[in-house]
């Protein structure tokens, strides 16, 4: 059976294309070249290789890493921790995204893959935590007023069963407490 293709999302396609453009921009190259350093490279038989290793310094941990293991990261994230406002239309969100993406060089940093992974994970957790708490706020408010929202049990089960919820113990505890209120 053929894999189901996701529905075309114009906004995400525009964002993705602009991220690829930014990755190849002179601004990114200039930031990378600030810390370029060459190290001697040797073959297995001990003779010098024609090309040296090129390493760059991570601005977070100050380690020198191979060029393939470093990226340019926005200090102030392109997607804000609170996300883009839902009252904005698509083009306003895209314009805001572009302004944050094509920022001043002072908002950029060289960052190695392990540091980038941990920073990205922390930003993602902050965004999800906000989203999950907002969803639970709506359910809790309705339950306290005696109203049982549609799909309430399904939504609460989502927070207690998901594997990705492992990083959110406070959300799981809150969902379990709301489930107890619902079952009374």
Asked if the structure places residue 4 within a domain, the reply is no
Asked if the structure places residue 49 within a domain, the reply is yes
How far apart CA 36 and CA 51 sit, in angstroms, is 14
Asked if the structure places residue 151 within a domain, the reply is yes
Residue with tokens 């003779």: 47
Residue with tokens 């708490």: 133
Continuous H helices in 48-104: 90-101
Local confidence band at 89 (pLDDT 50, 70, 90 cut-offs): very high
Asked if the structure places residue 2 within a domain, the reply is no
Residue with tokens 């895209």: 94
Asked if the structure places residue 5 within a domain, the reply is no
The enclosing H or E element of 64 equals: strand 64-66
Q: What pLDDT does residue 66 have?
A: 94
For the cut 80, the answer to whether the pLDDT of residue 54 exceeds it is yes
Domains in the chain, number:
1
Parent domain of 154? 10-183
DSSP per-residue codes, 4-53: PPPPP-HHHHHHHHHHHHHHTSHHHHHHHHTT-EEE--B-TTSPBPSS-E
For the cut 70, the answer to whether the pLDDT of residue 44 exceeds it is yes
Start-to-end CA distance of the chain, whole Å, equals 45
Local confidence band at 5 (pLDDT 50, 70, 90 cut-offs): confident
Question: Distances from the Cα of 168 to the Cαs of 89, 109, 111, 141, 171, in angstroms?
Answer: 30, 29, 26, 21, 5
Asked if the structure places residue 140 within a domain, the reply is yes
Q: What pLDDT does residue 129 have?
A: 86
Mean model confidence pLDDT for the chain: 89
Which tens digit of pLDDT belongs to each residue from 118-158?
A: 999 998 888 888 888 888 898 888 888 888 877 888 888 88
Local confidence band at 81 (pLDDT 50, 70, 90 cut-offs): confident
Local confidence band at 175 (pLDDT 50, 70, 90 cut-offs): confident
Q: What pLDDT does residue 30 have?
A: 95
How far apart CA 133 and CA 18 sit, in angstroms, is 31
Percent pLDDT > 90 in the chain is: 53
Q: What pLDDT does residue 132 have?
A: 86
Task: Tell me if 72 sits within 8 A of 110, measured CB to CB.
Answer: yes
Radius of gyration, alpha carbons of the chain: 23
CA 100 to chain centre: 14
Shortest CA distance to 73 belongs to which of 21, 34, 110?
A: 110
Q: Which two tokens stand for residue 36?
A: 């370029």
Mean pLDDT of 158-171: 74
């Amino acid at each position: 059976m053929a894999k189901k293709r996701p529905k075309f999302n114009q906004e995400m396609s525009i964002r993705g294309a602009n991220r690829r453009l930014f990755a190849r921009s002179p601004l990114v190259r200039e930031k990378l070249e600030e810390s370029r350093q060459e190290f001697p490279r040797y073959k297995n038989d001990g003779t010098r290789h024609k090309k040296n290793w090129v390493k760059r310094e991570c601005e977070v941990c100050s380690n020198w890493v191979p060029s393939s293991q470093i990226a340019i990261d926005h200090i102030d994230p392109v997607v804000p921790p609170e996300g883009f406002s839902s009252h904005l239309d698509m083009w306003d969100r895209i314009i805001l995204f572009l302004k944050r993406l094509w920022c001043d060089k002072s908002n950029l940093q060289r960052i190695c893959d392990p540091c980038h992974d941990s920073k990205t994970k922390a930003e993602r957790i902050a965004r999800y935590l906000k989203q999950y708490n907002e969803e639970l706020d709506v359910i809790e408010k309705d339950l306290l007023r005696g109203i049982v929202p549609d799909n309430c049990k399904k939504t609460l089960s989502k927070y207690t069963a998901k594997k990705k919820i492992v990083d959110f113990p406070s959300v799981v505890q809150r969902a379990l407490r709301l489930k107890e209120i619902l079952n009374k």
